[in-house]
């Protein structure tokens, strides 16, 4: 069910921001074929299976931490491109060598690349998984080299020199992704930037890091990161059809319990339904029905 329209009164928008070490946890995707997806995420990208049941596989870069979860919807069609929902899940590699080695692995497996960009703050490769779920593979530049305007990042989109990136790969045996690999950010198609900003900045408590609303996008984060969430209206406002593939849910990990509780209070005050799942997890939906779970250790 879609959430109600945002309330414009009696909102506690002056609450403390999220803790600086707030970050994205796992991303949970739908797939039409688990075995096909496992071949891609396991054989090509090198993620390790750490849990499985009849419908779901949990994959990890370090063999312990859940990073990508896959739930099977046999026969489901991909999310239509011109709808809200997932734009991409971004796999963040520990350094440039690790990204280059992963890129070389994609090439060796003859898997198609969709694009590549230098964003100033990072170097990024883009592709779709076998179900059409968007992925970004990237590595950050050092923070002291990020282009900034005041306290906000000034990300750009420039061509990425792929040959130069490949030269950064060492020749050690491929053992899968470095244990420091994680999910760095999630990027969503939304129907309205003002509503999305209200939800993720005023209610969740993320900081606006780059306002590109003139071009249909916002980037928000905690702790001065360039973005934990990208939000854009590039796909239009049509909702994702029920039962299609795409994003099931993603995690936002809030390390401090008091801040985790405060987020839920702000959401409930705004009329947003909050589903508590045990003592450390709460599921909510944004105004476009994108699901996120607020997690505290």
The pLDDT > 90 percentage for the chain reads 92
pTM of the model: 0.94
CA 164 centroid distance within chain: 26
Domains and CATH numbers, the chain: 23-295 (3.10.180.10)
DSSP secondary structure of 236-294: -SPPPPTT-SEEEEEEEE---HHHHHHHHHHHHHTT---EE-TTSEEEEE-TT--EEEE
pLDDT digits 0-9 by tens, 79-116: 999 999 999 999 999 999 999 999 999 999 999 999 99
66 exposure class (CB count in 10 Å sphere: 0-12, 13-18, 19+): middle
- Does pLDDT of 1 surpass 50? no
- Does pLDDT of 8 surpass 60? no
pLDDT digits 0-9 by tens, 142-167: 999 999 999 899 999 999 999 999 99
Write out the E strands in the chain: 23-31, 48-52, 56-60, 68-72, 85-92, 115-118, 122-128, 134-140, 148-149, 152-153, 158-159, 182-189, 207-212, 217-221, 229-232, 246-253, 275-276, 281-285, 291-295
Q: How far apart are CA 125 and CA 131, in angstroms?
A: 18
| DSSP H/E element including 193 | helix 193-197
Mean pLDDT over 111-135 rounds to 98
Residue 54: per-residue pLDDT:
83
Would you call 213 helix, strand, or coil by DSSP?
Answer: helix
Q: How far apart are CA 227 and CA 185, in angstroms?
A: 7
pLDDT digits 0-9 by tens, 18-34: 999 999 999 999 999 99
Q: How far apart are CA 132 and CA 245, in angstroms?
A: 8
Q: How far apart are CA 181 and CA 168, in angstroms?
A: 17
Q: How far apart are CA 239 and CA 79, in angstroms?
A: 10
- Model confidence at 55, in pLDDT bands (50, 70, 90)? confident
| DSSP H/E element including 206 | none
Mean pLDDT over 256-267 rounds to 97
pLDDT digits 0-9 by tens, 57-85: 999 999 999 999 999 999 999 999 999 99
- Model confidence at 16, in pLDDT bands (50, 70, 90)? low
């Amino acid at each position: 069910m879609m959430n109600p329209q945002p309330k414009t009164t009696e909102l506690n928008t002056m609450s403390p921001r999220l803790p600086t070490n707030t970050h994205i946890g796992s991303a949970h995707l739908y797939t039409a074929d688990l075995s096909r997806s496992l071949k891609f995420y396991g054989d090509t990208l090198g993620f390790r299976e750490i849990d499985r049941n009849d419908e779901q596989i949990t994959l990890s870069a370090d063999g312990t931490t859940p990073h990508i979860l896959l739930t099977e919807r046999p026969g489901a069609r991909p999310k239509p491109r011109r709808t809200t929902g997932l734009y991409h899940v971004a796999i963040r590699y520990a350094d440039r060598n690790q990204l280059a080695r992963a890129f070389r692995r994609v090439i060796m497996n003859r898997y198609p690349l969709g694009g590549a960009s230098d964003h100033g703050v990072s170097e990024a490769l883009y592709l779709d998984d076998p179900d059409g779920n968007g992925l970004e593979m990237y590595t950050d530049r050092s923070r002291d080299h990020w282009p900034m305007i005041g306290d906000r990042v000034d990300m750009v989109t420039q061509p990425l020199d792929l040959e130069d990136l490949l030269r950064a790969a060492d020749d050690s045996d491929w053992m899968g992704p470095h244990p420091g690999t994680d999910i760095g950010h999630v990027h969503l198609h939304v129907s309205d930037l003002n509503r999305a900003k209200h939800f993720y900045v005023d209610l969740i408590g993320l900081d606006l890091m780059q306002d590109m609303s003139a071009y249909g996008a916002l980037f928000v984060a905690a702790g001065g990161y360039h973005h934990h969430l990208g939000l854009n209206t590039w796909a239009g406002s049509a909702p994702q059809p029920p039962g299609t593939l795409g994003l099931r849910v993603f995690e936002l990990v809030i390390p401090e319990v008091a801040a985790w509780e405060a987020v839920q209070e702000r959401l409930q005050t705004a009329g947003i339904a909050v589903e508590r799942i045990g003592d450390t997890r709460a599921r909510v939906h944004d105004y476009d029905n994108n699901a996120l779970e607020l997690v505290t250790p």
